[in-house]
Amino acid sequence: MKIPFAVVSARSLSAGALAVSLLLSSCATPPAPPVEQKKQAFKMHDWRGDSVPGKASVVIYLDKQKALFYRDDRIVGWTYVATGISSHPTPTGSFKILEKVVDKHSNLYGKLLDAEGKVVDGDFDTRKKPVPEGHTFSPSHMPLFMRMTNDGVGMHVGRIPRPGRVASHGCIRLPRLMAQKFFSNVQIGTPVEVRAETPPELADLNLDAPPKPAKKKWSLFGRSEN
């Protein structure tokens, strides 16, 4: 039986088109694999203030648990801090550095030790109860203390167990490296502001960007005095 030429031609064209399609698909560049987004490493602090001139000041934001170090209107360092818990809140307001003590010990808070030197109370407050007979009071160590109030609130080296959350008896705890930087760069009289909330202008501040002068009242890395 003879197959009509038109049918043969249609079949041939169809087969040819299929072959060309397969050839083109085999030569096509495969799609690039999706780029895996790397998680940004957590940063506890950053300091870029060495040899930067200008008037020093510190601003602490309780809601973010962060302290910012300024030279004039430039942020040259920042760090997570740990401020006071609800029963011992860190006071807000404007303060100044009143005293700098390299090796400070608290006369209020510490540990209560028994006769064998074992800790029986890790959060002992000398104002609430006297030291029992046969026991010893071991005061809390507060290295690189920078006093801000007459009743003992200040910045110093201390544990920050959960960055972003409160933990202290009212003082502002700093990581050791940043306490060293702050201690070296403040003087008696350096202004310190403690604010309850971070202003909207600073809410999304890129603290990893290099410091630069402010061009307006609140800029990426600067502020004006108020």
- Which tens digits make up the pLDDT trace of 44-76? 999 999 989 999 999 999 999 999 999 999 999
pLDDT recorded at residue 79: 96
Query: CA–CA separation, 39 vs 115, rounded Å?
Result: 50
Q: What is the pTM of this model?
A: 0.72
Q: What is the mean pLDDT of residues 119-145?
A: 82
pLDDT recorded at residue 209: 56
pLDDT band for position 15 (cuts 50, 70, 90): low
| Structural domains of the chain sorted by starting position, each given as residue range(s) with its CATH number in brackets | 45-103+144-201 (2.40.440.10)
Q: What is the mean pLDDT of residues 124-139?
A: 81
Task: Decide if pLDDT at 222 tops 70.
Answer: no
Assess whether 27 carries a catalytic annotation.
no
Q: How do residues 138-162 score in pLDDT, each as one tens digit?
A: 778 899 999 999 999 999 999 999 9
Instruction: Give 105 or 178, the one with higher predicted confidence.
Output: 178
Query: CA–CA separation, 138 vs 222, rounded Å?
Result: 42
pLDDT recorded at residue 120: 72
Catalytic residue among 27, 88, 156, 169: 156
Inter-residue contact 122 to 216 (CB < 8 Å)? no
Q: How do residues 77-121 score in pLDDT, each as one tens digit?
A: 999 999 999 999 999 999 999 999 999 888 777 777 888 888 877
Instruction: Give 137 or 87, the one with higher predicted confidence.
Output: 87
pLDDT recorded at residue 194: 98
Q: What's the 3-state SS for the chain? A: CCCCHHHHHHHHHHHHHHHHHHHHHHHCCCCCCCCCCCCCCCCCEEECCCCCCCCEEEEEECCCCEEEEEECCEEEEEEECECECCCCCCCCEEEECCEEEEEEEEEEEEEEECCCCCEEEEEEECCCCCCCCCCEEEEEEEEEEEECCCCCCEEEECCCCCCCCCCECCCEEECHHHHHHHHHHCCCCCEEEEECCCCHHHHCCCCCCCCCCCCCCEECCEECCC
Task: Decide if pLDDT at 6 tops 80.
Answer: no
Query: CA–CA separation, 74 vs 68, rounded Å?
Result: 10
pLDDT band for position 27 (cuts 50, 70, 90): low
Among 91, 66, 85, 102, residue whose Cα is nearest residue 151: 91
Average pLDDT of the chain is 81
